Amino acid sequence: MTSATRRLPSGRADTVRPRLIATDLDGTLLRDDKTVSPRTVAALAAAEEAGVEVFFVTGRPARWMDTVSEHVHGHGLAICGNGAAVVDLHGEAGSHRFVTVRELARDNALEAVRRLRDAAPGTVYAVEQTYGFNQEPDYPRLHLEIPDVLAPAEELLGRNGPAPREPVLKILAFHPRLDPDTFLRVARAAIGGRAGVTRSSPNALVEISGPGVSKASTLALCCAERGISHEAVVAFGDMPNDVEMLSWAGRSYAMGNAHPDVVAAASGRTYANNDDGVAIVIERLLRP
């Protein structure tokens, strides 16, 4: 079920030795039970031993990265919050260090909240900051954690809101009735270029980040620091928040369980997350 080759003008995708593997977590590297299979653990270790860096690139906040912290190997870095932060996962749980923060300006955030409320009445919000999570009272318990503060989004994002000096990484917007893809289209049309809008959930939940912030743009910055071209990157994903990254990478793979937009963006397909789709491709890439 795997296929290769990136649609690049240069036609070099298959001849460039991979230098970095970028993989989403939920629905991609992780099985549905949120574990990493032994085969995948072995494949990640083999890639690092062969000199290929592995970056986890996820919509998750840093505090949800303990599942994979032991697998980050030497560099210890992961891209979290759909590109809003680069985090060093070395150290104990809850002590991860933010290396790069690409915040959502509060004025942009407030304008995005207002515009989406007008376009989709009934929308409710949660706010992710570097070390905090706050939400509106009607926002559902989607994330299995207790918010620090319950208040309207306008208060959470205001100058007198909780932790006003702590950067806002992204806003989560939920609609109780709209179809997920419809809600994403409505949100993008309403917010325009004031923020980046995507989704990674099967629910009508969109994620709002700073303008130009995405998994792809932050991964590109990390690669530029290392002198790695996009042609030498292999990427994996399953949901719309992976589309830009899969389009940017020299080779990319949609999981067998991927959203149709992801299948269209990727240059190849692999097996589903529960069937070690990432590991199967890495094993093939590392063959002599």
**Residue 139: which CATH number?**
3.30.1240.10
Domain boundary among 193, 209, 225: 209
**Shared domain check, 245 and 188:** no
Instruction: State phi, psi for 46 to the nearest 5 degrees.
Output: -65, -40
In terms of pLDDT, which residue wins out, 11 or 23? 23
Distance CA 243, CA 229 (A): 18
Domain boundary, last residue among 186, 209, 232: 209
Confidence tier at 175 by pLDDT (50, 70, 90): very high
Q: Is the pLDDT of residue 259 over 90?
A: yes
Residue 13: which pLDDT band, with cuts at 50, 70 and 90? low
Look at residues 192, 209, 226 and tell me which one is the last residue of a structural domain: 209
Across 275-282, average pLDDT: 97
Predicted TM-score (pTM) of the model is 0.92
Check whether residue 146 and residue 113 sit in a common domain: yes
Burial 243-277 (b: 16+ CB within 10 A, else e): bbbbbbbbbbbbbbbbbebbeebbbbbbbbbebbb
Annotate 18-47 with three-state secondary structure.
CCEEEECHHHHHCCCCCCCCHHHHHHHHHH
State whether 85 and 132 are in the same domain: no
Estimate the crossing angle of helix 180-191 against helix 106-119, to 10 degrees: 120
Residues 87, 45: one domain?
Answer: yes
Residue 255 has pLDDT above 70, yes or no: yes
Question: Cβ(89)–Cβ(78) under 8 Å?
Answer: yes
Tokens of 192: 């325009």
Assess whether pLDDT exceeds 70 at residue 208.
yes
**173 Cβ contact list (under 8 Å, min separation 6):** 113, 116, 123, 124, 125, 187, 205, 206, 207, 208
Assigned token pair, 141: 């318990």
What is the count of structural domains for the chain? 2
Q: Are residues 77 and 93 in the same domain?
A: yes
Query: What's the pLDDT score for residue 149?
Result: 92
Does some domain include residue 4? no
Residues in contact with 213: Cβ distance below 8 Å, sequence separation at least 6, in sequence order: 82, 83, 84, 102, 104, 196
Residue 111's domain comprises 106-209
**In this structure, are 79 and 125 located in the same domain?**
no
What are the tokens at 269?
């397909």
The pLDDT value recorded for residue 94 is 63
Residue of 92 and 268 predicted with greater confidence: 268
pLDDT per residue over 100-149, tens digit each? Answer: 999 999 999 999 999 999 999 999 999 999 988 999 999 998 877 788 89
| 134 and 67 inside one domain | no
**Is 112 in the same domain as 163?**
yes
* Helix, coil or strand: residue 99: strand
**Coil/strand/helix, residue 151:** coil
Q: Is residue 1 part of a domain?
A: no
